[in-house]
Amino acid sequence: MPIKVPVTKPGLDGHDRGAKIVARALRDAGMEVVYTGLHQTPEMIVTAAVQEDVDVIGVSILSGAHMTIFPKIMNLLREREVDDIVVIGGGVIQEADVPKLQALGVREIFNAEATTQQLIDGIERVVAEFGRDRTRRAAASLP
């Protein structure tokens, strides 16, 4: 069962070189990547994640606005009662902010020097550890 992951760029920043390379690399690793494009609001990201029933949301932020964006995404996931979707991020995120993001529930932050293999391994790991076990859930919800 392929991992399904949206690669998202919230906010107004348009630098998508990294996001596109990640999308290709994840595809080459056998994942199904939903590319949501640029200029996403947290609402658009969460809507896509819910409708696509993804395992993990990848958020790319280079603009420094991560302490505004991530809380909004986590809140929306809670509101929509899908707080079992794992959230990870990458880009230009100061070391000092990483623990704050983890406290919000962001499972992993990849800095710009992470290799694509590290990213792939990291996604597989967080999905295995924190992600939904679809088999169990689907079976449990049968009448």
Partner 1 sequence: MISQRVHRDLARAISAVENRIVPLSAARATLAAQGHRPAAARADVIGITGPPGAGKSTLADQMIEGLRAAGETVAVIAVDPSSPFTHGAVLGDRVRMQRHAGDVGVFIRSMASREAGGGLAPATRDAVRLAEAAGFDVILVETVGVGQVELEVVAVADCIIVVTVPALGDSVQTIKAGLTEIADIFVVNMADRPGANRTAVELKHMVHEGRRDIPVLQTIAQDGTGVAELLAAIAVYRGAEAANTGRAVRFEVMRRARDRAALAAAALLDSPEGAGVFAQLSAHQIGRNDAVDTLLAMLGGPVHAH
Partner 2 sequence: MQTPEKTRSLAEEQERWEQLTLLPFTERRPESRATFRTQGGLPLERLYTPEHLSELDYVRDLGFPGAFPYTRGPYPTMYRAQPWTMRQIAGFGTADDTNGRFRYLIAQGQTGISTDFDMPTLMGYDSDDARSEGEVGREGVAVDSVDDMHDLYRDIDLEQISVSMTINPSAWILFAMYLVVAQERGFDRRKLSGTIQNDIIKEYVAQKEWVYPPRPAMRIVRDTITYSAQHLPRYNPVNVSGYHTREAGSTAIQEVAFTLAAGIAYVEEVVKAGLDVDDFAPRLSFFFVSQIDFLEEVAKFRAARRVWARVMKERFGARKAESMRLRFHCQTAGVSCTAREPLNNIARTAIEALAAVLGGAQSLHTNGYDEALSIPSEAAMKIALRTQQIVADETGVVGTIDPLGGSYAIERLTSEIEHGCFDYFAEIDKRGGVIACIEDNFFQLELADAAYELHRRKEAGERQVVGVTKYRDDSPNPALDLHHVDEAASQRQLDRLKKTKANRDDGAVRATLDELVRVAKTDDNIMSATLAAVKARATGGEIVNALRPIFGTYVEKPVF
Q: 50 and 71 in contact (C-beta within 8 Å)?
A: no
| C-alpha distances in Å from residue 34, one per residue of 27, 79, 129, 141 | 10, 22, 22, 26
Structure tokens at 61: 């932020």
| Number of residues located near partner 2, criterion CB under 8 A | 32
Contact string 11-50 vs partner 1 (x = CB under 8 A): ------------xx-xxxxxxxxxxxx---x-xx--xx-x
**Residue 129 makes contact with partner 1 by CB under 8 A:** no
| C-alpha distances in Å from residue 136, one per residue of 130, 132, 140 | 14, 9, 6
Rounded Cα distance, 111 and 113, in Å:
5
User: Smallest distance, Å, CB 82 to partner 2?
Assistant: 23
Rounded Cα distance, 116 and 120, in Å:
6
Choose among partner 2, partner 1, none what residue 11 binds, the Cβ cut-off being 5 to 8 Å by kind: partner 2
Residue at 49: amino acid letter: A
Binding site for partner 1 (CB under 8 A): 1-2, 4, 23-24, 26-37, 41, 43-44, 47-48, 50-53, 80-82, 134-135, 137-139, 141-143
Binding site for partner 2 (CB under 8 A): 11-17, 20-21, 23-25, 27, 35, 37-39, 41, 63-65, 67-69, 92, 94, 111-113, 115-117
